[in-house]
Every structure is written in C-alpha cells, then in structure tokens.
Amino acid sequence: MMKYETIYMMVRVVVHADHTSIAEIVGEVENYSKLSLTDTANVNILETEILVSRVRKPKAKNLLTL
C-alpha cells in the first residue's frame, strides 16, 4: 500500500544571467523555471515546487582581497 510522504530536496544551480541583482535572478527562477521529476515503478510524483531558502552572499572581507 502506498503512503503519502513529503521529501525535501536541495538543488545547486549555476546560472549565467543578464540581471544585476541576485534578487532578480532568484525571482525569475522561482516564477518561470520548472523542476521535472518522473514517476517510477514504485513512486508517483504528485507535486513539485522550487523553494529558495538561502542565497549565499560574499563576505565583506573577501571583497577586499585582490
């Protein structure tokens, strides 16, 4: 008998973008990108959603190092 479960996956994505701010990039990815997962013999994919919980920002001390 199948039961319903929620699985959280973390995905690393490298992008090249014309935007100047990370907020614009994240906003566009969240609004227009698609995550594709397929059913298997034993697992039916019911729903997917892109979740962005944290964006890495360079630390100030790293910006001063040349």
| Letter string b/e over residues 44-55, b meaning 16 or more CB atoms within 10 A of that residue's CB | eeeeeeeeeeee
Positive or negative torsion for Cα 1, 51, 8, 39: positive
Strand ranges for 1-66 from DSSP E: none
**Single-letter residue type at 48:** T
pLDDT digits (tens, 9 = 90+) for 10-63: 788 888 899 988 888 888 888 888 888 899 999 998 988 777 666 566 555 555
What is the value of pTM for the model shown? Answer: 0.53
CB-CB neighbours of 26 under 10 Å: 15
